[in-house]
Amino acid sequence: MYKFTSSGFFMSINKFIDYLKHEKNYSSHTISAYHTDLKGLQDFLQEEYEVIVKEATYPLIRSWITNLMDEELSARSINRKVASLKAYYKYLRVIGELDVNPLEHHKSLKTSHKVQVPFSKKEVNQILGTSYDAADFSSVRDVLIIEIIYITGMRRAELIGLKVNDLNLHSNTILVTGKRNKQRIIPLIRSITEKLSIYLKMRDQISDSETTELFLTNNGVKLYPSLVYRIIKTYFSEVSSKVKKSPHMLRHSFATHLLDEGADLNAVKEILGHASLASTQVYTHTSMTMLKGVYKNAHPRSIKKK
């Protein structure tokens, strides 16, 4: 999938991809993104300047960035592509194939920090409280997917990667494999383990003995990302007018609602599988209940006189 067929550039890319896969344990999705970014730059440099990525100077890279801006890519998307290039140049430095990193002094493009408004508790409860066809596999699966993301806060890729053996219905826990194959155990509430037991019986009727994934399509094969996205978007379109309706937004809502109820930030960090607390603190920006509580209890003009 990631192999090139000619030139030293392509060989070094192959080595870099192997490094990301075997040494850094990056997911196939991330590796594919790196590959696409570097191939896009190489095509641009070859067409415009007849040079390869390893020989590119900063002015040439800046022209590529300008071209991306002309194509109306967002600053966030461009920064991600540049990050792929930075990682490649860093790798070349480490293995001794590059003396100077042309992006050493590059500054990322400024991005607008739009506040992502999570689903409200009312919106989530509307979906989870809606009656569905208990005899229909897809209906049972779809609602269960929504509930398990909301109960655990797991990522879409983590949900898709779940195995039947990751479930422990006796201890009410689930083993989740996150980024870079890091694993964490998340507790489950009893109500969802009962629904999982029902789902497993239905799943056994459409799957063969060799299928290990927990969540399957109607054809008995592993879920795919766009299906999970479509499930979330379809259901939340019925109850929410928010622009963004995605699995990540449901994960975002999980974290925000926990913090609203006073959950410890470090505990939320562990459940989400974040490497640093800074990643989890993003969710405090939209935890309005918490912010209002702090404001009410701490602001001098808000404190009632005794």
In this predicted model, what pLDDT tens digit does every residue of 105-130 receive, in sequence order?
Answer: 899 888 766 667 889 999 999 999 88
| 244 is an active site residue | no
Say which residue, 186 or 4, is predicted with more confidence.
Answer: 186
Output the six-digit token pair for 250.
Answer: 């449901």
The residues that bridge with 168 in the sheet, in sequence order, are 173
Burial of residue 236, with CB atoms counted within 10 A of its CB: 0-12 exposed, 13-18 middle, 19 or more buried: buried
| 29 is an active site residue | no
| 155 is an active site residue | yes
What domains can you pick out in the chain, each with its CATH number?
Answer: 7-94 (1.10.150), 121-294 (1.10.443.10)
pLDDT averaged over the chain? 86
pLDDT surpasses 90 at 209: no
Map residue 37 onto helix, strand or coil: helix
Task: Choose the catalytic residue: 89, 150, 235, 283.
Answer: 283
Q: Which residue has the tokens 């490094």?
A: 19
Task: Choose the catalytic residue: 35, 81, 141, 155.
Answer: 155
Task: Choose the catalytic residue: 251, 252, 257, 269.
Answer: 251
Considering the chain, what percentage of its residues have pLDDT values greater than 90? 54
* Closest to 58 (Cα-Cα) out of 34, 82, 94, 32: 82
List pLDDT tens digits, range 38-68.
999 999 998 888 888 988 999 999 999 988 8
| 248 is an active site residue | yes
List pLDDT tens digits, range 273-297.
988 787 787 777 656 555 555 556 6
Rounded to whole angstroms, the Cα distance separating 168 from 172 reads 6
Q: Which residue has the tokens 């655990």?
A: 152
Mean pLDDT across the stretch 169-192? 91
